[in-house]
Structure 1
Amino acid sequence: MTALVADIGGTNTRVALAEGPEIVAGSVRRFLNAEHAGLYDVLRRFLAEMGHPQIDGACAAVAGPVRHGAGSLTNFDWDICEDRIGAVAGTTRVKLLNDLQAQGHALDHLGPDALTPVLDGPQEPGAPRLVIGIGTGFNSTTVYKTAGGTVVTAAECGHMSLPVCDERMLSLARFAAGADGFSDVEDILSGRGLETVYGWTTTAAGAPRTLPGREVLSAIGHDPQAAEALQVFVRMLGRVVGDLALAHLPYGGIYLIGGMARAVAPHLETHGFADSFRDKGRFSSLMEEFAILTVFDDFAALIGCAGYLEDGE
């Protein structure tokens, strides 16, 4: 079976061909969303570049909520639905997934070289696993193995209230809040979130500045406010990941995925992630039971889409 698979992010859309659960070598293409009128233009362009292959099934992952075969990007205004994807691809076998759901379906198809340990811990076979995406936005999903197959839940937890534990974090929450006065997890734990934290640290230092998130990371060695912003980001990440671990008890492991997850991975050990993750009062000892890994395969969502179709779920 030849499948069309797509990973529709807030900034870029990746499209590829798959044969079974494997991505066809050399078929991955990346398209900048801002340069296209919509997803269907991207898919038509891709299929033309591939020589209009016969497509037996299609699966797309979207960085936003999906319901009744239709989805929307949290951070970009595109119409996305299964029927129109099928019309472009020439197949009636189409599935639209939330992007984190696709990442969850990828776990059983990733090679060991795609995973880097963050915190050691037992990984109980068959137990729930938690996938946390940190990139343009923030979200998580839980992966369950059942007698009927793999079940991957949908969520929009990036829009949960930002946890505030002291006056300093209350100051950050107020700084990050929009016109409605609400500050959510994604306002801090995302690429634009690190930019916001840097704006807060420089404002507090009396010299307000702005830098994109990745440039904040590049400035760590010579900019004290960049170093402070990274530490705040990492410790907040530990707190939120710990909260999600308690909510879902993922004894099968916790997987951090996405561009920002990979970017901050080298800094987690030295900037207080473990302490923040395990700072749960009388439940602190329980937090030793969760292994945490970072996924370094940038095509995991595409692999998950291919795996979903191959498994016939």
Structure 2
Amino acid sequence: MTKHPKNALSLVADIGGTNTRVALANGKDLLPDTIRRYRNSGYPGLETVLRTYISEEGDVDCLGACVAVAGPVRDGVGTMTNLDWTIDKETLRRATSAENVSILNDLQAQGHALGYISDDNITCVAPAHTAEAPSPNAVRLVVGVGTGFNAAPVFETHTGRFVAPSECGHANLPIRNELELALCQFIENAHGFPSIEDVLSGRGLEQVYRFLGIQANDPREKFAADIMASVEAKNDPRADETVAIFIKILGTVAGNLALIQLPFGGIYLVGGVARAMAPHLERFEFAHAFRDKGRFTGFMQNFSVSVVEDDYAALTGCASHLHSLTS
């Protein structure tokens, strides 16, 4: 007897820079008991990961397959930004034997998850202050802060949901004061180009900590998780300063993106680093940095900002997107 019904379930995967999560879905519904996590360093490519998963799930016969990749997708080919993997539709069909396949950017998948995430997993960190409720078709924006940084607008159209891809994490880092200029120059010396992702990511947090040490003639290093632990314990003032800089720049960048996309339906911060920062956003004045736009400061009150606490939202988004293609 097979573990799963034949040709009834879809395979969904979220491929990050460090780990790949794979699961099965029944239509739009993710099956939590089937979620498995694989460390990318142990596999030569995604095809091997998916074949391993299918075997571990009793050689499940998949109706469809949709994967979200942390990198650009063009003409059905996904290329990882922080991992030497490439995936195309033919490879996905070969690995899964699925009839219908799709490849999304990871932030596109997060956008497709909106509306299918439990309210218990969404925390508002900067409410909108306006008497006018957003329309059902208002633009929303997902902003991913994790191994890398990216954002994607979510549009509701007459023909369905459209989530526009983006690689905005590789745009220039914004600069508003002398300290941020020095940080920008520090990153440029190290990498040749100062991008948003070089600060607003896990490794970016580590770089800011290192930068502050050099500024103070007391160079030290810490892993991102240890920096956040020190902020929790309040035992390292440099960790506090690091997170304060991080959150201020995050607010500035999120505010810039809000003015570009006008997401009256809300901004949603996603990703492991965003979730780690969530308890500290108020303390380090994220909302002020987000709305600090001169004569447009009042206008910024139109946009709410929330943190998505669901670690599997991208998998839900893949399931939702695939279902919309086949229903």
User: TM-score if structure 1 supplies the norm length?
Assistant: 0.98
The residue identity in structure 1 corresponding to 2:28 is P
Match of 1:266 in 2: 279
* Separation in structure 1 between the aligned mates of residue 188 and residue 202 of structure 2, nearest angstrom: 16
TM-superposition CA deviations, 1:72-109 (whole Å, max 9, x none): 11001012111111111112310000000000000021
Q: Secondary structure at the match of 1:246?
A: helix
Number of residue pairs aligned between Structure 1 and Structure 2: 313
Match of 2:66 in 1: 59
Match of 2:51 among 34, 39, 44: 44
Match of 2:245 among 209, 217, 232: 232
Match of 1:31 among 38, 44, 51: 38
* Separation in structure 1 between the aligned mates of residue 262 and residue 26 of structure 2, nearest angstrom: 34
TM-superposition CA deviations, 1:145-202 (whole Å, max 9, x none): 0000000000000001000112111100111225563100000000000000100111
* Separation in structure 2 between the aligned mates of residue 45 and residue 91 of structure 1, nearest angstrom: 15
Is the contact made by 1:123 and 1:290 (CA closer than 8 Å) also made in structure 2? no
Give the superposition deviation at 1:30. 0.5
Match of 2:124 among 111, 117, 120: 117
Output the aligned Cα RMSD.
Answer: 1.1
Instruction: Say whether residues 1:146 and 2:160 are aligned partners.
Output: no
* Separation in structure 1 between the aligned mates of residue 319 and residue 109 of structure 2, nearest angstrom: 9
Match of 2:267 in 1: 254
* Separation in structure 2 between the aligned mates of residue 34 and residue 136 of structure 1, nearest angstrom: 15
The residue identity in structure 2 corresponding to 1:20 is G
Match of 1:306 in 2: 319
Instruction: Say whether residues 1:207 and 2:218 are aligned partners.
Output: yes
How do 1:73-112 residues align onto structure 2 when only pairs under 5 Å count?
73-112=80-119
CA 1:178–1:203: 2 relative to 1, 3 Å: closer
Match of 2:139 among 123, 128, 132: 128
* Separation in structure 1 between the aligned mates of residue 14 and residue 160 of structure 2, nearest angstrom: 23
Is the contact made by 2:23 and 2:32 (CA closer than 8 Å) also made in structure 1? no
User: TM-score if structure 2 supplies the norm length?
Assistant: 0.94
Instruction: Say whether residues 1:189 and 2:196 are aligned partners.
Output: no
Q: Secondary structure at the match of 1:238?
A: helix
